[in-house]
């Protein structure tokens, strides 16, 4: 690592007190100060939950519409029969079709952020689970991506709707904006996601539910957030 990079990293690290936890508002300001990338980096939350993801009722997942969007235009593929294609295209879907896209995906193409499908075509899509599942792209009724109202689904995704899901380690990782956002927008988006996760708490989860929350931008150090200040 070059000396200049080391010096820059030390200067950034010095802005975060290792012995302190920050309010969401403070973290939303600091995450902008410690960003070192020249591009508009993503701002992410990493939320550790007191759940056992192996238990079906504790495998937390859901969706939330961020009030200020994600700052990224999501590429949406709608898999449907011809009768729904016009609705999907009018709503702004980037790709619309069925058999040709199933073949493309089987060939390794996954150049999209969200896939929406109608219930009638799900039997055809089932075989794509091994490809789409690990990438969190498989359409699912629980996240609103299996629906007959494809226009509404596309509008929600384009308008800032994101899906969240706890991983095997009990952590939810989610992008809630960009470093170009104002601190208020970062905080409000973060708060919306955290509230949705709190509402999704299963009755079987015992002990501390929000174990830790960290905010970070791409390639920046993470900022610990005071979990007590997040529980209303």
Each residue's pLDDT tens digit, 48-79: 999 999 999 999 999 999 999 999 889 999 99
Counting as low any pLDDT under 50, the low residues of the chain are 1, 232
Please tell me the predicted confidence (pLDDT) of residue 219.
83
CA distance 193 to 98: 32
- pTM for this one? 0.80
Please tell me the predicted confidence (pLDDT) of residue 1.
45
Please tell me the predicted confidence (pLDDT) of residue 232.
47
Q: Give the CB-side neighbour count of residue 120, counting CA atoms within 13 A.
A: 9
pLDDT one-digit tens code per residue, 93-111: 999 999 999 999 999 999 9
CA distance 217 to 45: 9
Number of H helices and E strands in the chain, helices first, is 8, 9
Please tell me the predicted confidence (pLDDT) of residue 156.
92
Please tell me the predicted confidence (pLDDT) of residue 5.
52
Q: What is the DSSP string of 72-123?
A: S---EEEE--HHHHHHHHHTT-SEEESHHHHHHHHTT----SEEEE-GGGHH
Strand intervals (E) in 112-170: 114-117, 161-165
């Amino acid at each position: 690592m070059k000396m200049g990079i080391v010096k820059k990293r030390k200067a950034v690290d010095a802005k975060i007190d290792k012995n302190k936890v920050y309010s969401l508002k403070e973290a939303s300001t600091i995450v902008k100060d410690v960003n070192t990338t020249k591009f508009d980096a993503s701002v992410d939350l990493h939320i550790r939950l007191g759940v056992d993801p192996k238990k079906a009722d504790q495998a937390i997942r859901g969706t939330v519409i961020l009030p200020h969007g994600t700052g990224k235009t999501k590429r949406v593929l709608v898999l449907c029969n011809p009768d729904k294609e016009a609705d999907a295209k009018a709503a702004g879907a980037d790709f619309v079709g069925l058999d040709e896209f199933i073949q493309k995906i089987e060939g390794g193409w996954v150049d999209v952020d969200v896939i929406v499908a109608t219930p009638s075509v799900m039997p055809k899509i089932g075989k794509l689970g091994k490809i789409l599942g690990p990438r969190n792209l498989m359409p699912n009724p629980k996240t609103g991506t299996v629906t007959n109202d494809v226009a509404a689904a596309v509008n929600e995704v384009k308008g800032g709707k994101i899906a969240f899901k706890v991983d095997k380690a009990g952590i939810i990782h989610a992008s809630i904006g960009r470093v170009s956002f104002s601190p208020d927008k970062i905080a409000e988006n973060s708060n919306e996601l955290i509230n949705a996760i709190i509402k999704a708490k299963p009755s079987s989860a015992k002990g501390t539910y929000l174990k830790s929350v960290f905010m970070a931008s791409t390639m920046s150090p993470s900022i610990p957030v005071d979990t007590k200040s997040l529980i209303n």
